[in-house]
Amino acid sequence: MKKAPVRLDDLAGAGKRPLIHLENEDLMSLPAPLDHPSKDHNWPPLSAQAGEKFECFLDDTCAVSIPQPKTKEEEDALVAKFLSGLDKLFVKENNWSFLQPLLLTMEHCAKCQTCSEACHIYEASGREEIYRPTFRSEILRRLYFKYVKHGGMLSSWQHGAITLNWPLVARLIELSYRCNLCRRCAQTCPIGVDNGLVAHELRKLFSQEMGIAPKEIHDNGSMLQLRVGSSTGMNSEVVKDNIEFIDEDISEKAGIHVETPWDVEGADVLLIHNAGEIMAWPENPGAFALILNAAGIKWTLSSEIAGYDSINYGLWYDDAQFARVAIKHAEAAKKLKVKKIVLGECGHAHKALSVIADRILTGDLNIPRESSMTLLRDIVMSDRIKLDPSRNDFPVTLHDPCNLVRLMGVVEPQREIVRKICPKFREMEPHGVDNYCCGGGSGFAIMSGHNFADWRFHVSGRKKIEQILNAFANCTDASIPKYVCAPCSNCKGMIRDMIAYYNLWESNRIHYGGLVELIVNAMVDVKPGFIDWEWR
């Protein structure tokens, strides 16, 4: 029996039950070997304990884990805080940073649903109503006209009615974390409205006014980075130790001595990695060191606070936290008097520091920032290092991180590289600026509380898995190793987790990794076999 679509009013319903529960049969179908719902994982419902303790009444999963208020007074106080934050979203003193795009989005959406068809989450969920980009926007829009513009009955007739209560706010908090902020929806809007921005602005309201954000991106994310220097928890001593270990390991593996320079004053390049690479994929910073040394680049890492971790989770939920971390990055570069900052393989760090922070970093903090993709492209295409493409003679496809591509316009450099060094390169479809998000964007890749990981593997990452399987459709056999190149740490983590979840390494020999690993794997001076065809 077809389920009745959720109505906007349902969000204000007081029932302590999720509005929807998805089953494998509801979801968008996938190609082989996942071509039947029965081949998909069972999807555990949210635990009863979580349902009793947290506000998890949207869709049977939970990203934010908001404790349930104990009294009506507590609920009313939270709603009052929400209203206060709502007002601030539309005041320039509080939200100059996004006021113009937000107002235009509030006042001009034609609700034509063109954006819905562009949204991978909506499509993958089997077109579930609450995942439409317009669903959360329509709620915010109605709240805006009613409570910010103080609209009466005429406004309600014009813009729609809405009931505000704690259940609606609680569900809206969760709903703001069912969007990857990839802005594919905005790209297709005929008017230029940005319903993806609405999720961003709601998250800001909840964080900046109510102090509510997923602990993975706030407590263990931006706060930890500002306290210790990295969201990985590594302080400068630990990171130096780890890099020293990586240098030794890579030297042995590559047969070339590798030494990572630290805190070199006046270097041409300050390279900032996503520190998650150092912990999870040490071969990535190792490969960077190898390439930059071989190309004769005068470069350095910084041991300043946040100077060795490019992540900036504030980008997804909090302007103040965003600005603080961006300033720390710039201060590290300023202290070393480097000519430019080059960002490693991390999409959101690219956009955060290169694009968004551009109107925050002023004076001597406005140090030029550049993508590692362009620097690597110049190294590879200028033949400054000798490469043998036959070493990469396996099928390779390229994932386009949204932040790097659609939101920053760095599209071709990484392609020029893989075209040159990977003879069996094939594109995903669609690709480039029309790409689909990996499903881990906007923090999801690091959010795994309760059964949220199952949700992202089944729903937000589903389109990417479909694309990967389609890209390798002519070589699915497990005797052929295949490589998904994801030049972004968060995307790579999400793709790793999905390959593991769906057992695609065992069944189809689909592996994943970064771009620099492919380059080093093709370097003539490096011992063959840099890429490990072993699952980790």
Interacting positions 114-133 with another protein (CB under 8 A): 114, 116-118, 129, 132
Do 88 and 49 form a contact (C-beta atoms < 8 A)? no
Binding mask 490-529 for another protein (x = CB under 8 A): ----------------------------------------
- Residue 20 makes contact with another protein by CB under 8 A: no
Closer to another protein at the Cβ: 176 or 354? Answer: 354
Closer to another protein at the Cβ: 52 or 364? Answer: 364
- Kindly identify the residues of this chain, within the stretch 58-97, that bind another protein according to CB under 8 A: 81, 84-85, 88, 92-94, 96-97
Closer to another protein at the Cβ: 10 or 388? Answer: 10
- Residue 354 makes contact with another protein by CB under 8 A: yes
Tell the smallest beta-carbon distance from residue 444 to another protein (Å).
20
Residue 43 CA to residue 48 CA, distance in Å, equals 15
Q: What share of the chain is helix, strand, coil (3-state, %, to 5)?
A: 50, 5, 40
- Residue 324 makes contact with another protein by CB under 8 A: yes
Distances (CA, A) of 269 to 246, 299, 334, 369: 20, 4, 12, 10
Do 451 and 46 form a contact (C-beta atoms < 8 A)? yes
Residue 238 CA to residue 275 CA, distance in Å, equals 11
Cβ neighbours around 248 below 10 Å, total = 14
Binding mask 134-153 for another protein (x = CB under 8 A): xx--x---------------
Tell the smallest beta-carbon distance from residue 522 to another protein (Å).
21
Question: What length does the chain have?
Answer: 536
Tell the smallest beta-carbon distance from residue 86 to another protein (Å).
12
Tell the smallest beta-carbon distance from residue 236 to another protein (Å).
12
Helix, strand or coil, per DSSP, at residue 483: strand
Do 268 and 297 form a contact (C-beta atoms < 8 A)? yes
Binding mask 161-180 for another protein (x = CB under 8 A): --------------------
Do 159 and 145 form a contact (C-beta atoms < 8 A)? yes
- Residue 113 makes contact with another protein by CB under 8 A: yes
Residue 118 CA to residue 116 CA, distance in Å, equals 5
Where do we find the tokens 């932040």? Answer: 403
Closer to another protein at the Cβ: 58 or 498? Answer: 58
- Residue 250 makes contact with another protein by CB under 8 A: no
- Kindly identify the residues of this chain, within the stretch 362-391, that bind another protein according to CB under 8 A: 362, 366, 368, 370-371, 373-375, 377-378
- Kindly identify the residues of this chain, within the stretch 284-323, that bind another protein according to CB under 8 A: 319-321, 323
Closer to another protein at the Cβ: 102 or 499? Answer: 102
Closer to another protein at the Cβ: 24 or 232? Answer: 232
- Count the site residues for another protein by CB under 8 A: 96
- Residue 473 makes contact with another protein by CB under 8 A: no
Tell the smallest beta-carbon distance from residue 255 to another protein (Å).
29
In the sheet that holds 425-426, the strands lie side by side as 425-426, 396-398, 482-485, 510-513
Which of 355, 475, 480, 500 is close enough to bind another protein by CB under 8 A? 355
> Which of 233, 285, 438 lies closest to 348, judged by CA?
438
- Residue 238 makes contact with another protein by CB under 8 A: no
Closer to another protein at the Cβ: 96 or 245? Answer: 96
Distances (CA, A) of 466 to 282, 349, 469: 28, 26, 5
- Residue 111 makes contact with another protein by CB under 8 A: yes
Residue 147 CA to residue 144 CA, distance in Å, equals 6
The three state secondary structure string of 162-180 is: CCCCHHHHHHHHHHCCCCC
- Kindly identify the residues of this chain, within the stretch 189-228, that bind another protein according to CB under 8 A: 189-194, 197, 207-211, 218, 223-224, 226-228
Tell the smallest beta-carbon distance from residue 295 to another protein (Å).
12
Closer to another protein at the Cβ: 70 or 359? Answer: 359
What dihedral do alpha carbons 427, 431, 437, 439 form, nearest 10°? -30
Segment near another protein (CB under 8 A), from 5-13, 26-34, 272-280, 528-536? 5-13
Tell the smallest beta-carbon distance from residue 168 to another protein (Å).
14
Cβ neighbours around 39 below 10 Å, total = 13
Closer to another protein at the Cβ: 120 or 482? Answer: 120
Q: Which residues contact 404 (CB under 8 A, 6 or more apart)?
A: 347, 350, 351, 371, 373, 410, 487, 488
